[in-house]
Amino acid sequence: MRTRIYLTFILSLSFAVNAAAQTIAAPTTTATTAATAATAVVAPAQQQHHLMPVPASVRFNAGRLPVGKSFNVAVRGQADPRLQAGIARFLRRIEGRTVMELSRGLAGDAASATFVVETGGAGKAVPSVEEDESYTLEVSDRQAVLKSANTVGALRGLETFLQLLDSDRDGYFIPSVQIQDRPRFPWRGLLIDVARHYQPMDVLKRNLDAMAAVKLNVLHWHLTEDQGFRIESKKFPRLHTMGSDGQFYTQDEAREIIAYARERGIRVVPEFDMPGHATAWLVGHPELGSAPGPYTIERGAGIFEPALDPTREEVYKFLDVFLGEMAALFPDSYLHIGGDENEGKQWDRNPRIQAFMKEKGIKDNHALQTYFNKRLLTILKRHGKTMMGWDEIFQPDLPQEVVIHSWRGPAALAEAAKKGYKGVLSAGYYIDLIFPTSQHYAVDPIPAGSTLTDAEAAHVLGGEATMWSEWVSPETIDSRIWPRTAAIAERLWSPRETTDVEDMYRRLSVVSLRLEELGLTHEKNQALMLRRLAGGRDIAPLQTLVSVVEPVKEYRRYQQRPQTMLSPLTGLIDAARPDAEAARRFSAQVEGLLSDAPRFDAHAQQVRTTLMQWMSAAPELEAMIDRSPALHEARPLAKDLAELGATGLEALSYISRGVAPAAEWRDARLAALERIAKPKAALEFPVIPSVRQLVFAASEISRLKQLTPADWRAQIKTLSTPPRK
Amino acid sequence: MRTRIYLTFILSLSFAVNAAAQTIAAPTTTATTAATAATAVVAPAQQQHHLMPVPASVRFNAGRLPVGKSFNVAVRGQADPRLQAGIARFLRRIEGRTVMELSRGLAGDAASATFVVETGGAGKAVPSVEEDESYTLEVSDRQAVLKSANTVGALRGLETFLQLLDSDRDGYFIPSVQIQDRPRFPWRGLLIDVARHYQPMDVLKRNLDAMAAVKLNVLHWHLTEDQGFRIESKKFPRLHTMGSDGQFYTQDEAREIIAYARERGIRVVPEFDMPGHATAWLVGHPELGSAPGPYTIERGAGIFEPALDPTREEVYKFLDVFLGEMAALFPDSYLHIGGDENEGKQWDRNPRIQAFMKEKGIKDNHALQTYFNKRLLTILKRHGKTMMGWDEIFQPDLPQEVVIHSWRGPAALAEAAKKGYKGVLSAGYYIDLIFPTSQHYAVDPIPAGSTLTDAEAAHVLGGEATMWSEWVSPETIDSRIWPRTAAIAERLWSPRETTDVEDMYRRLSVVSLRLEELGLTHEKNQALMLRRLAGGRDIAPLQTLVSVVEPVKEYRRYQQRPQTMLSPLTGLIDAARPDAEAARRFSAQVEGLLSDAPRFDAHAQQVRTTLMQWMSAAPELEAMIDRSPALHEARPLAKDLAELGATGLEALSYISRGVAPAAEWRDARLAALERIAKPKAALEFPVIPSVRQLVFAASEISRLKQLTPADWRAQIKTLSTPPRK
């Protein structure tokens, strides 16, 4: 599901590059105020809030519940250790934000407590896809009351409460509100690939905290790959000792992660990818392979040939013991066997395997893999697990009890659901591909217009964002996962009708900062990476550049800037973040400016300031690049940035004077923009369509001045289309 | 050694408040360029470098060794696993900075390798104060060669190499250089108090990495206190289970830290503080106390009464078992028993203890503590440990083999040394007191003019920076330790003559950024804390404020802004950093400006820009403070900042026009500065002396214009003295 996904993704969802560019340009001016919007004034009913995911039902009322030093929490009904620990963490987070010391422990008297948490039970001992996560939260001037069937629902409600915490001159408060909430889908996951790049325990823990904050409930732990076997096996220690460069999780550590996740109402589903993606297994156990070996840990990215041999009984004996060991270690009732991207080349070349297929009447490699899967299914059933695998395992003969994990898309998922298979969607949620949040946000596991019956729809369990880790290190991984994954979390939790992209971005900006309180580094690590690249403290010009570039999308990074799994991930591309916020802001401002025809006043000053900043950053950038060889690859970008600034300023000047430039100017500028649009250092400028809009607007200013603002607004979209030659 | 230290410190070292203020103002303009100085051009012999600590001998030559993709390391002689791991980490750090993938493993052919490491042996199995840490490093155009007696010396040399890495337009390189290096003192430590505030494993690990980077070699692990008992005892589990709020290190974790430290050539000396500072012991074992109890974990800061009972044999039996367990856990040959700040109030009130003293002829509490210490000494000797304790244990009867840890100062240490006691200095290195780096840097364990003979001087083993943790959290602790501790590390490693404060600050600024590559958060966490306080992304005005304030010094924070060990450490004071760099830069600029008499041109524009920034930040700050109750305490600071800006600008205007203001203006401004000098929110403005200089200069401008620059320079110092009324 790695390299192939791009094409399928494009075809099934029609996310062409131009469409993506337009999506970036789409948000209007409201988004620009999102950053400082954390303090909206409370007004009844329809007020803006910063809840993400949006609850199933929210109704604001007049009034507020002050949160002061006397704030305390009482529990009515049960209070198991998990709930108590959850409340303790909740209180520490309020303390952190408010700098007030609150009383420890629970209040004795629920009637007089500020906040009452009432839960019916402790919830399941092992977190389950069947857990009831619903809750209600009612906040009045006098008290807040959170009710849930069990502790997990209460944990979800505590996160909602934390997102409601607001402040103004009079102090901290929770607006009066009535919330009834429950998830739309029961399976809301984040896959973390710890195989391509190992991620230390603290990375996993802080990401579990962040997952809980946005109500995700499955950590899909992608533990084995061509590039690494990351889990200790006591039965077959050569798996991890020879397959991991010493970077693996001990079984104690795995238990620690499982317990940490459970404390937050999160399941841990392990994946042991086979029969392909298995090179690292074979380093210590070449006898499992379909070719004799020897094998070494794979350092490249892509699809590789090594595959387990599905024709040998010894392999199944081995897997029975290994999967038995893992089934005991991981309590979740699901176990993911991967199953993706096995091209069967080793099988084709192995005469013994060919003979086996002939003898058994197995017609092709797909059928052979289905044979393998069925054997696995028997093993997993014996160990009490439900088997799950990627799209490829969905073959004619596949037993219905297997869960399909789809990288192909909602249509493939619906097809499986109609045939009675349960499924989880990841197509459209590949956050490693560096698409903007809006694009992931538009992907629905059961899109509007779905023809699934209710019973069929119930087979669509939910979705998972996938953090494939070819190009992330512990230093950068948070910035690839967050904040975008919060919007995917919303898609999977909130009602289908929650689709306002502008409002999503407004809330996302607030959520992103609040995730920092959990130790997430997605915001703060950029500055450190730029300081290291610049070799000094003055990084302002570099920040200007990096704020308006994004890594190239899909799998182009590897094509344009080849690296291995051993390469440092400390370059400018690693410091750059997906879905550049400053670029979005600029696009919104340009759109606002052009919509303000015929005066062209709105945002003119902001747009001008930004464009001048781009121009003036260039000479300082040049000097910095001279000193820092690691930045040499950025030299053309600095030049491009200055040219974008100059082009925009020239266009702005024409627009504000109401004078059209010569056609030659327009053609030269458009040609330059096409040059600039070519990625350098695997980075690209998402602001190009906006600058192009300015150039078009300038060149057609005489005509455009005659239009009404409404007409003008309609024209703008067409301006971002490149000129036909 | 906690609350008493201030007075002793002041008396013994004459660090009066005014002196401190002048120290802040002292650095001249060179310091202002330190931030961008990472790329000095290579020139022979006397060139500027960024080495910290400065080696015993450095001689730069013409030429350079390029560091490119083919850079590799060969080992000559032995290559134990510790050296190999050290070289692997070394290579990863070069990769991180240069964004070049280097070859893994060691080069086979030393003759053609870029860098050859030649060590005589693996070093001691247990890191020791007797380890030979010396090394030589010779870098030519063709090759770098590092030689050392053992792996520890090689690890020190690898850090030097990393500090030498430089770059320019032509690429990365190491300047040609000859270094012979060895530490001045064998004991160079950092005490981390994990008792007042528990610090997670990753905090300790990243600080061990930072220690190694500046050649510190002792982690003094302050494990027990009134506020927490942080180490697992399998013999007496109630110690940690009841005394730690669940926040303790398991013995496995302790071994992990010890191994991690050893890998970096760092010893781990544990401290079990007794008989005082022992409340947390008594929560689970009240029978050890000198009063019946019950006891609860202490939440306040200060000196508390609970003390072990030195008169009961059961206590020694307990300690024998406990210390035996700890002696086996911690391999270092030293064990610290604390011994500080026991006031004996429980002893005074306990008739049985009084009777015991009378019976044994023990004349006072000091003598009783010495009795206790001697009993401890016997126990520790039996378990093979050298006993170490704070100054208080230095009583007439103390056996000479005990090591004194001094919070009293170099004179006390010298006195002990003359009597044959070994000692370690921490007076002057109390980094929790928020003094500027320059102040710590001036403290020498054996100051110039010492009357110690060589043999006596050898008893002074070195020193330790002490990170007492009343007011630090995992989020802020790095910013209290770093970068200041790097200058203390230099004091303890480098020749006594290395005392140029300006040059220290220039290098410190570079070192501080390089420490970030190890995961240290001292630079990057401030922005996150300000975002949380501001509730948004736009923190520029808050950064302006926080860049020119510092937390109050010594123990005034607690007096002015009382908190407990349970309070959140997320306020503005926690975001503020010691030894504010922007304040130092401003002071240097003002001094440069005033030294430029009679033109007063130099730095005028920078000073004006800064002052205007202070003024213009105020209204934005006001709006931010309105929205964020956690910032309400900063309201008067915002006003002060604006007034400092306005005052400075007015003064600057008089100075540049050469016109003196009326005496009333001067008096009103000076009175205002006195008001502003009163701390608010336990924060103060270190820039006040510089603004006062501007006011004085303005008011005496007519006279001063007549002076020569040299006279004028002499006058400046006197201008920072407050006016006499």
First to last CA, chain B: 38
Grade residue B711 by pLDDT with cuts at 50, 70 and 90: confident
Q: What is the mean pLDDT of residues B11-22?
A: 32
Which residue among the candidates B263, B341, B643, B684 is catalytic per the annotation? B341
- Taking CA atoms, what residue in A is nearest to B571? A99
DSSP state of A135: E
pLDDT at B716: 63
Residue B318 to residue B21: CA distance in whole angstroms: 50
Residue A435 to residue A506: CA distance in whole angstroms: 18
Contacts of A540 in chain B (CB under 8 A): none
Q: Which residues pair with A167 in a beta bridge?
A: A172
CB-nearest partner of A101 from B528, B564, B626:
B564
Grade residue B706 by pLDDT with cuts at 50, 70 and 90: confident
Contacts of B164 in chain A (CB under 8 A): none
pLDDT at A723: 39
Q: Side chain identity at B549, as an amino acid letter?
A: V
Judged by CB atoms closer than 8 Å, whether chains meet at A568 and B92 is answered as: yes
Chain segment B247-279, per-residue pLDDT in tens:
999 999 999 999 999 999 999 999 999 999 999
Residue B589 to residue A695: CA distance in whole angstroms: 45
Judged by CB atoms closer than 8 Å, whether chains meet at A535 and B563 is answered as: no
Contacts of B169 in chain A (CB under 8 A): 626-627, 629
- Taking CA atoms, what residue in B is nearest to A201? B202
Q: Are B444 and B495 in contact (CB under 8 A)?
A: no
Single pTM value for the model? 0.93
Runs of H (alpha helix) within B601-699: 604-627, 635-657, 663-677, 688-699
Grade residue B46 by pLDDT with cuts at 50, 70 and 90: low
pLDDT at A724: 37
- Residue B105 exposed, middle or buried by CB count within 10 Å (0-12, 13-18, 19+): exposed
Residue A489 to residue A211: CA distance in whole angstroms: 8
- Residue A352 exposed, middle or buried by CB count within 10 Å (0-12, 13-18, 19+): exposed
Strands B683-684 and B73-77: unpaired
Contacts of B630 in chain A (CB under 8 A): 97-100, 167
- Assess whether pLDDT exceeds 90 at residue B31: no
pLDDT at A450: 95
Judged by CB atoms closer than 8 Å, whether chains meet at B37 and A538 is answered as: no
Judged by CB atoms closer than 8 Å, whether chains meet at B630 and A97 is answered as: yes
Q: Are B615 and B715 in contact (CB under 8 A)?
A: no
Could you tell me which of B398, B444, B449 has the C-alpha nearest to residue B421?
B398
Residue A555 to residue B312: CA distance in whole angstroms: 73
* Category of A338 on φ-ψ map: left (φ > 0), alpha (ψ -120 to 50) or beta: left
pLDDT at B33: 36
Placement of tokens 């992990």 in the chain: B256
- Residue A17 exposed, middle or buried by CB count within 10 Å (0-12, 13-18, 19+): exposed
pLDDT at A48: 87
Q: Side chain identity at B256, as an amino acid letter?
A: E
Residue B187 to residue B164: CA distance in whole angstroms: 25
Judged by CB atoms closer than 8 Å, whether chains meet at A101 and B628 is answered as: no
**Better-predicted residue by pLDDT, B396 or A139:** A139
CA B551 to chain centre: 15
Collect the ranges in chain A with pLDDT lower than 50: 1-45, 721-725
Contacts of A626 in chain B (CB under 8 A): 168-169
Query: What is the maximum span of chain B, computed from C-alpha positions, in angstroms?
Result: 82
pLDDT at A595: 86
Cis amide prior to B294 (ω within 30 degrees): yes
Judged by CB atoms closer than 8 Å, whether chains meet at A172 and B629 is answered as: yes
Chain segment A230-287, per-residue pLDDT in tens:
999 999 999 999 999 999 999 999 999 999 999 999 999 999 999 999 999 999 999 9
- Report the run of H or E that residue B174 belongs to, with start and end: strand B171-181
pLDDT at B17: 30
DSSP state of A408: S
Residue B469 to residue A258: CA distance in whole angstroms: 31
Judged by CB atoms closer than 8 Å, whether chains meet at B627 and A168 is answered as: yes
Residue B672 to residue A571: CA distance in whole angstroms: 49
pLDDT at B702: 86
pLDDT at A4: 41
Per residue, the 3-state secondary structure of A520-556, as one string, reads: CCCCCHHHHHHHHHHCCCCCHHHHHHHCCCEECCCCH
CB-nearest partner of A523 from B92, B171, B528:
B528
Residue A534 to residue B436: CA distance in whole angstroms: 27
pLDDT at B7: 34
Asked if A341 is an active-site residue, the reply is yes
- Following CA atoms B229, B231, B237, B238 in sequence, which dihedral angle do they give, to the nearest 10 degrees? 10
pLDDT at A12: 33
pLDDT at B42: 37
Rounded to the nearest angstrom, the minimum Cα separation between A248 and chain B is 16
Q: For A313-329, give the DSSP string.
A: HHHHHHHHHHHHHHHHH
Residue B347 to residue A104: CA distance in whole angstroms: 33
Strands B135-139 and B171-181: antiparallel
Mutate to test the interface with A, among B84, B89, B99 (most CBs of A within 10 A): B99
Of A460-464, B440-444, B534-538, B703-707, which gets the smallest average pLDDT? B703-707
pLDDT at A397: 81
- Assess whether pLDDT exceeds 90 at residue B610: yes
The SS3 assignment for B597 reads coil
Q: Are B319 and B378 in contact (CB under 8 A)?
A: no
First to last CA, chain A: 38
